[in-house]
Amino acid sequence: MKKNDGIEEKALTDREERFCYEYVLHLNASKAAIKAGYSEKSARSKGSQLLTKVNIQNRINYLKENLAETSGISALRVLKEHEKIAFADAGQLRDGWMSLKEFENLTPEQKAIIQEVTTRETKYGTEIKVKLFDKQRSLDAINNMLGFDAPLRTELTGKDGKDLFPDIKIEIIDKTEDVRNDNSDD
């Protein structure tokens, strides 16, 4: 049993946990109840009944507020997907210069870099075009995620952070007065 603000909550059953997860996915209580293993005949009433329970409501709210955790998506996972694209080359998909590897023989990493495959019949046979995802966009995303392209701030200070040039006075000179005087002589 979990404590929530001093109130003890009853632990969820496996079916209730699955209902919460499915409800967050579909926002449909009947569909979530069926996916959680409740009967189709009673799914509507069971889904409605489950949504009235405080512990179910709390779990659904937690799952909604923590979608990255709920979905299993992390910054590392996104970075790894960009890595596949950024460092891939068309040679991974070829058997020699003129022929492509069979799709079934490609690794999941090789399949992940393919954006589109198109075919068309020509007088020489079937032409197959394979379009890969944009390497530069993935490289830019990696640079952004890792902070490689962040601006650098350089500050020059003396010992213990003291000003290196304490005696230099910065003077702002207003040149507009001189310009007006130069024009009035004409």
What residue ranges of the chain have pLDDT lower than 50? 1-3
What HEC string does 157-182 produce?
Answer: CCHHHCCCCCCCCCCCCCCHHHHHHH
pLDDT at 127: 87
The pair of structure tokens assigned to 136 is 């530069």
Quick: pLDDT tens for 115-150: 999 999 999 888 888 899 999 999 999 998 888 877
pLDDT at 160: 78
Q: Within 10 A of 134 (CB to CB), how many other CB atoms are there? A: 13
pLDDT at 165: 72
pLDDT at 1: 45
Q: Which domains does the chain have, with CATH numbers?
A: 2-71 (1.10.10.1400), 75-136 (no CATH)
